[in-house]
Amino acid sequence: MDPKDIAGAMRRLRARSLELLDGLSDAELTVEAVPGWSVLDVFRHLATSDRGSVLGAHLLHFRAGQDLDDIERLNDELVAGVRQEARAAVRADLATWGSRLATVTGLAPRALARVTIPTAFGRLPLAWMGGLRLYDEWVHQWDVTQAVGRPDPPMDADLRELLAEFQLRALPAGPLRTLDRRDGVVEVRFRDVTRTPWRFDLRRREFGEFVRSAPTVAVVADVPSWCLLAGARRGWRDLPGIEVTGRDEAAAGALLDVVRVV
């Protein structure tokens, strides 16, 4: 994941978020978007996340040992701290901190982006944290559009490529560590990006594009559906964009049941 590509996607996503916010009525801002958060709270969260990322605090929030519940509680606390901010202040924060984060990200050398660090999701390259920002913003755009009855947010081809890489790297680093060893080799393919499929040998604990074990089942997905699965917005059986082909559905289900990124 190239820092400049991530930065460009950050700017495009933030422009869409600002356009979405500008098009909402005051009444729509009060609609619940996710449990405990209004639509405006979602935008408050995006702004506080960017501020924390620029100032360095956000990396500590995702340090090794933190679980998803810890991270969710911290997000709630951060939103509660700015809940008095009205639309105009939230919009200004979104524009300011989003621009600063994209600038900092784009200036990062490629060598630094490849450095791996321990995180709540396992040991991952710093560039993966930039992918986390892209994923979080797109999923929250989806939350808002669902809450107010608007069309799903777009996901351009470049963003799909970045998020496909982000999601695949999240699997062996995070949720697959919770799986007991079991038979089955699951091949994961994205139908809307061009890339080598990844295979997951659940018995040998081998993951990636170089696994030679023959797959016993294939999971074919589009990137937006996979993001909704990872965000616990929908179960995999309820997402028409995720298909399981082959007889070993138990192995595919074991993998899909643990797909989770906060």
Structural tokens at position 22: 């500008």
**Number of helices (H), then strands (E), in the chain:** 11, 9
Domain 3-154 is in which class? mainly alpha
**Mean pLDDT rounded to a whole number for the chain:** 91
Residue 215 has pLDDT above 70, yes or no: yes
Q: How far apart are CA 139 and CA 226, in angstroms?
A: 11
Q: If you average pLDDT over residues 157-174, what whole number do you get?
A: 91
Residue 192 has pLDDT above 80, yes or no: yes
Q: What's the pLDDT score for residue 259?
A: 92
% of the chain at pLDDT higher than 90: 69
Q: What's the pLDDT score for residue 137?
A: 97
User: Within the chain, which residue ranges are assigned CATH 3.30.1050.10?
Assistant: 168-256
Q: Which long-range contacts (CB under 8 A, 24 or more apart) does 179-185 make?
A: 179/254, 179/255, 179/258, 181/205, 182/251, 182/254, 183/216, 183/251, 184/216, 184/217, 184/248, 184/250, 184/251, 184/252, 184/254, 185/211, 185/213, 185/214, 185/215, 185/216, 185/217, 185/251
Q: What's the pLDDT score for residue 55?
A: 86
User: Within the chain, which residue ranges are assigned CATH 1.20.120.450?
Assistant: 3-154
Q: Of the candidates 98, 74, 82, which has an alpha carbon nearest to the alpha carbon of residue 17?
A: 98
Structural tokens at position 243: 């298909």
3-state secondary structure of 234: coil
The tens digit of pLDDT for each residue in 46-70 reads 999 999 888 877 777 776 666 777 7
The pLDDT confidence band at residue 170, using thresholds 50, 70 and 90, is confident
Q: What's the pLDDT score for residue 44?
A: 96
Q: If you average pLDDT over residues 240-249, what whole number do you get?
A: 94
Decide which of 3.40.50.620, 3.30.1050.10, 3.40.1230.10, 2.40.10.120 is the CATH code for 168-256. Answer: 3.30.1050.10
Q: What's the pLDDT score for residue 66?
A: 67
Q: What's the pLDDT score for residue 65?
A: 67
Q: What's the pLDDT score for residue 179?
A: 85
Q: What's the pLDDT score for residue 116?
A: 85
Q: How far apart are CA 233 and CA 106, in angstroms?
A: 30
The tens digit of pLDDT for each residue in 104-160 reads 999 888 888 888 888 777 788 888 888 999 999 999 999 999 999 999 999 999 999
